[in-house]
Amino acid sequence: MSGNFHFETRPEVDVIVYRHRADCKFIQKEKDGRCRCPKHIYVRLTRARISAKTKSWETARQRAKEWADDHDPVILRERAREADNAITPKLIEEAFDEFIASKQAASSNPDGYKTTESKYGTMKRQLMDFLHVHDQGKPEAERVLYVHQITSPLLNKWMGTWKSKTYWSKSKKRDNTVAFFDHCIAQKWIKVTLDKDRGNPARGMAKIVGKKDSSIPTLPFTPAQFKAVLRACTTYDLSLATVNQAEVRGKGRRLHALCNLMHWSGLAITDAVTLQRSRLGKDDRLVLYRTKTGNPVTVLLPPQIADELRRVPPGPDAHPEYFFWSGKGKRNKAASTWQKTLRRLWKLVEPALDLRDRDGKRIRPKSHMFRNTFAVELLKKRVSVDHVAMLLADHPDTVKEHYYPWVPELQDLLEKEVKRSWDDDVPIILPDVDDALQRTVGQA
């Protein structure tokens, strides 16, 4: 008798000789250890008799134990638990490569993925450099080579080497680290636990502290500052020692058109410098998709800005399909090249840009300030948050968080609405309520 057996408790299993051969001389119980007849496993609970496929008593007893273990529910559950917790050791560098590859596979926006690849590639390089220094002089057994060897205290030491200063940049890097180790747990490169952090060492890293508001780089240009920036564009060519060379001729006019484009469209610099000419319609309307998120953008440009954009002089490596880009290489590299140009431009602005955040801390000008200006100016004109979010291809909550604090007029508007509600009904004063309650109790 054989088959699948399921027991609530461990079954009683014996080894027996079902039938001795006729010439067997060891049929007595006290001599059966010397018997070489075929052995069987006998399960008393179900009266099952299973061939042990051996004539050796020792082998038969070992197989009986293995059979009992294979049908013991307690042992089976423990084996399943051990299998679930089993990990495959993974080298840190290989884990990063596979994590980045998974991000690429999941991305529906190839251009936006390049930013993600650069972000995690930088994190990989920084962590590997830190571990290289950490492992110097240590024996092989003590070196941190695999992701499951990384601990929260070690990550805290690594965080102490970060050059990021602002709350938001450090918080984002910490979040990216958590995402990486979550991926490692999902791939069973790190043992999952029943703890709140599920065994993710990055979740045990110290929390980033600081003021969120003062760290958000959402400072807009004032109208006077923006005009000063445009004036500086007209002097850009003269500021270059290589003014007669073809590669810089007309750079100031291109820069002037780019600044106007970002200011009046709200486009981030990557989208602006890689903008295709076909994206600007005859009706002066821009229709495109954001590189970062893939979200659609539709925005109408002032006629004079659209005309300037159409007349922008081509650069030495210009592509006929683009306003500012050669069409070669990566989009983020094209943005980086223009960022260098803007950093030179900021130095030419007169009067010099004196930029301070909401706490009065001095900050450097950035290209994203054109986008900030576009959003803040719309909010000041009482365009709804939802509509501003649509124009920016962003989420309304992001618009509220980043741009509301720069529009004090909105708070004034809200206070006026509160005051208007006072005109309809007489405000209820708490002492009046107490008197009314006392009269009601007295009448009762």
Considering the domain architecture, whether residues 253 and 323 belong to the same structural domain is answered as yes
pTM recorded for the entire structure: 0.55
The runs of H, that is alpha helices, within 319-429 are: 331-348, 368-380, 385-392, 396-403, 408-422
Q: Which two tokens stand for residue 298?
A: 């539709």
Q: Which of 97-101, 160-164, 199-203, 306-310 has the lowest mean pLDDT?
A: 160-164
Lowest mean pLDDT among 17-21, 59-63, 136-140, 175-179: 17-21
Give me the domain span that covers residue 266. Answer: 223-380
Task: Check whether residue 234 and residue 355 sit in a common domain.
Answer: yes
Residue 357 lies in a domain: yes
pLDDT tens track for 363-411: 889 999 999 999 888 888 888 888 888 888 888 888 877 777 677 666 6
User: What is the average pLDDT score of the chain?
Assistant: 82
Q: What is the band of 214 on the pLDDT scale with cuts at 50, 70, 90?
A: very low
- Shared domain for 258 and 308, answered yes or no, is yes
Q: What confidence category does residue 165 fall into, taking pLDDT thresholds of 50, 70 and 90? A: low
Q: Which residues have a Cβ under 8 Å from the Cβ of 428 and sit 6 or more positions away?
A: none
Same-domain check for residues 235 and 328: yes
The pLDDT value given to residue 193: 77
Residue 270 lies in a domain: yes
Quick one: pLDDT band at residue 181, thresholds 50, 70, 90? very high
121 near 130, Cβ under 8 Å? no
- Within-domain flag for 397: no
Tell me which of 155, 181, 210 is where a domain ends. 210
Note the pLDDT of residue 144: 92
Res. 122: pLDDT tops 50: yes
Q: How confident is residue 215, by pLDDT bands cut at 50, 70 and 90?
A: very low
pLDDT at 242: 58
Same domain, 133 and 54: no
Domain boundary pick from 85, 106, 126: 85
Give the position of tokens 């007029």. Answer: 409
Same domain flag for 188 and 41:
no
* Among 208, 182, 220, 21, residue whose Cα is nearest residue 102: 182
Report the C-alpha dihedral over residues 380, 381, 382, 385, rounded to 10 degrees: -70
pLDDT digits (tens, 9 = 90+) for 144-156: 999 999 999 999 9
The answer to whether residue 4 is domain-embedded is no
Number of domains in the chain: 3
Q: Is residue 309 part of a domain?
A: yes
Q: What is the pLDDT of residue 432?
A: 52
